[in-house]
Chain A
Amino acid sequence: MLEVSNLTKRFGGVIAVNEVSFEVEKGEIIGLIGPNGAGKSTLVNLISGFYLPDSGKIRFLGEDITKKKMHERAKMGIARTFQNPRLISNMTAIMNVMYAVLGSERGSKLSLVEAYGEAAYYLDIFDMLKKRDVLVADLPIYELRLLELARALALKPKILLIDEAMAGLNPAEAERVSKLINRIREEFDLTIIWIEHVLKIIMRSVERILVMHYGKLIADDTPEKVVRMPEVVEAYIGEEVV
């Protein structure tokens, strides 16, 4: 479904993503881990079209999308969340879901009122309906994370790129978010790439893990195997996981 080959992105002297290649099958849920600055967010930004790569190719649903614009990729079904919630703080919660509804492929035929109704549905999935008229600027981080997910889901994605859904949350909240992600994955038949720092939870949810280190992909295997690879333990995972 998604095929990334030899993807490279430089920022000045820093090679944020270095010759990364991997494939994602439909329905997979993949964890992407790595220390700070490993290039995880940059990889998400390359797939979603936020940045264009210096070299390499991205194919999605059999089509080369390397040069496609960000909004076209979104319409094709690539949705992402932002590591630092990036919502429109001047707008209410439901408005922030509405524009994703309007921007989705089938959304081009919806009126504003219809979009409102659909946005309410997505908010309800995350138990945020009662907060629909609250300004985003007044929401706590937990609800911002939920809103990020609701907005991404409103795009009716085929693949969902989650750039940290649990950072800044307490363990109970993180647990709830993790359950929600598993639930929407089943209900909406999603393919997910999930970046996270809270390893214990993500290890339980995913079937496959990619490990990045200094821009390079250093491992791609099942969670059980990944935590035993010496280079992974050395590069990233401390004692806390195993």
Chain B
Amino acid sequence: MSILKLEPRRGRMIIHAFGRKYDWIIEPRYWRNPIIGVITLLALPLLMYFFATGVFGIRPVALLSALIFANILAMIGTPLVLQIIGTGRVSFGPHFFVAVGGYTAALLSKNYGFSPALTLPASFFMGALIGLGLSPITIISRGIYFVLITLLLPFILWELTYWRSDVFGAETGIPGVPLLIFTGDVVLDIMIYYYVSIAMVLILLFFTDRVMRSRYGFMMGVINEDEEVALSYGIDVAKIKVITFTLTSGAIAVAGWFLAHYQGSFTGPVWLQPSFLILILLTTTLGGKGAVYGVIASAYFIATLREVTRTQFGEMSVVVLFIILLILLYILPEGFWGLYRKRRYREYVPSIRIRRA
């Protein structure tokens, strides 16, 4: 009899050693995702640098801007996925909250001299406050009504920016917003912006992941699947929806804060456009339903693809971009996450195994 005997099983490893039996549960999803994901994200600029500049002839600065745009999409997409799960509804107005955050940051810094450190919480609270005020729509409306209500919000704000162009500056926007980073060296600045934005994405991802693995994340998943079942089994659906909508609206507004302090101005009509909404929705959908990690992957994919098509196809670039994305939607109904997971059900909880050794 050998001293050490390995007995691999599906999802577990039983080790007989020195007359004792050890039962290890193998749960790869727990460690593989975060670590590999974070490493990839941090190494991506380098990889992209060689690939994009070498193969497609994109300038480094343009590439970095594209990656920052990817992070902005991820900053919006990550909380939006949480919102979609926790309210059981797809909002068509996430860019409204981006604009709320952007205008809050721009107006407070221009009119009252707030620093970025102060406009950050202000943007979050403004987004959350408006989200709280609007949250009843997640309870009383569904289907096309919810879509229309959320779709109307950005249009109303859009009109408002023209009507009160003395305050919002219409398509010229609000200039003179203090920059987050200013060293005098353009490339260095943009590198720092990239790492600031990626830090924001990682922080968001950390919180989202915590929520998704908590009892609340699980109950949000139940709401997403069947509200009436959730109610029948004691889940306070209305409360969870209101909290989810409020907090995710605040988080989406923070993306607007970043935009304002990254560009040194905030121009609502640029971000309130339907084409920006479509990019956001494509990011969440291509990421995979109910998947947070997939959103980051698709944000990077879409932002890079947009840059590549822009340099390769000139005037046709937008058409080409959307056609490629359309084809991908068709062949990947479960999104990027579905490719990785290859399972039919959405994983609202990590697979915890019971040990019965």
> Is B234 in contact with A110, judged by CB distance below 8 angstroms?
no
Docked complex: B215-247 residues within 8 A CB-CB of A? 215, 218-219, 221-222, 225-226, 228-237
Instruction: Specify which chain B residues have a CB less than 8 angstroms from the CB of A91 in the assembled complex.
Output: 221, 225, 345, 348
> Is B231 in contact with A70, judged by CB distance below 8 angstroms?
yes
Binds B, one of A99-107, A168-176, A216-224: A99-107
Chain B residues engaging chain A, CB cutoff 8 angstroms:
213-215, 218-219, 221-222, 225-226, 228-237, 344-346, 348-349, 351-352, 354
> Is B235 in contact with A99, judged by CB distance below 8 angstroms?
yes
Interface assignment of A155: CB less than 8 Å from any CB of chain B: yes
- Where chain B touches its partner, the secondary structure class is loop
Name A92's contact: one of B228, B232, B237, B345 (CB within 8 Å): B345
Name A99's contact: one of B228, B233, B236, B351 (CB within 8 Å): B233
How many A-B contacts if CB must be within 8 Å?
90
Chain A residues engaging chain B, CB cutoff 8 angstroms:
48-50, 69-71, 74-75, 79-80, 86-88, 90-92, 95, 98-100, 102-105, 107, 110-113, 115-117, 120, 132-133, 135, 137, 151, 155
Instruction: Specify which chain B residues have a CB less than 8 angstroms from the CB of A112 in the assembled complex.
Output: 213-215, 218, 349, 352
Instruction: Specify which chain B residues have a CB less than 8 angstroms from the CB of A88 in the assembled complex.
Output: 222, 225-226, 229
Query: CA of A151 to CA of B222 in the docked complex: distance in angstroms?
Result: 14
Name A74's contact: one of B218, B225, B234, B354 (CB within 8 Å): B234
Instruction: Specify which chain B residues have a CB less than 8 angstroms from the CB of A69 in the assembled complex.
Output: 231
Instruction: Specify which chain A residues have a CB less than 8 angstroms from the CB of B352 in the assembled complex.
Output: 112-113, 116
Chain B: minimal CB distance from A169 (Å)? 22
> Is A135 in contact with B219, judged by CB distance below 8 angstroms?
no
Query: CA of A155 to CA of B229 in the docked complex: distance in angstroms?
Result: 13
> Is B235 in contact with A71, judged by CB distance below 8 angstroms?
yes
Name A155's contact: one of B225, B234, B345, B348 (CB within 8 Å): B234
Known pairs A100-B234, A103-B230, A107-B234 / 5 extra A-B pairs, C-beta < 8 Å: A71-B235, A99-B219, A104-B234, A113-B352, A133-B351
Could you show 7 A-B contacts with beta carbons less than 8 Å apart? A71-B232, A71-B237, A80-B232, A90-B346, A92-B345, A95-B218, A102-B235
Instruction: Specify which chain A residues have a CB less than 8 angstroms from the CB of B228 in the assembled complex.
Output: 50, 70, 86
Query: CA of A132 to CA of B354 in the docked complex: distance in angstroms?
Result: 10
Query: CA of A136 to CA of B81 in the docked complex: distance in angstroms?
Result: 24
Query: CA of A7 to CA of B345 in the docked complex: distance in angstroms?
Result: 41
